[in-house]
Amino acid sequence: MAKKQSAGTETKTRFLHRVLTKNPDLDHRQVCRLWTKSGHAGQISNALFYQVRTKLGIKTEWVWVKEGEPDSKPPETIQQETTTDSLTRRE
Count of structural domains, the chain:
1
Question: Is position 47 within any domain?
Answer: yes
Residue 70's alpha-carbon distances to 27, 63, 65, 75, in angstroms, are 30, 21, 15, 11
Q: What is the dihedral of CA 30, 36, 41, 42, to 10 degrees?
A: 30
For the cut 80, the answer to whether the pLDDT of residue 69 exceeds it is: no
Comparing C-alpha atoms, which of 26, 24, 10 is closest to residue 56?
24
For the cut 80, the answer to whether the pLDDT of residue 72 exceeds it is: no
Question: Is position 27 within any domain?
Answer: yes
Distance CA 47, CA 28 (A): 10
Where would I find the beta strands (DSSP E) of 1-91? Answer: none
Residue 3 is predicted with a pLDDT of 64
Residue 2 is predicted with a pLDDT of 64
Question: Is position 34 within any domain?
Answer: yes
Question: Is position 32 within any domain?
Answer: yes
Question: Is position 81 within any domain?
Answer: no
Each residue of 9-67: pLDDT tens digit? 899 999 999 999 999 999 999 999 999 999 999 999 999 999 999 999 998 888 898 88
Phi, psi of 85 (to 5 degrees): -70, 150
Q: Which domain holds residue 39?
A: 12-56
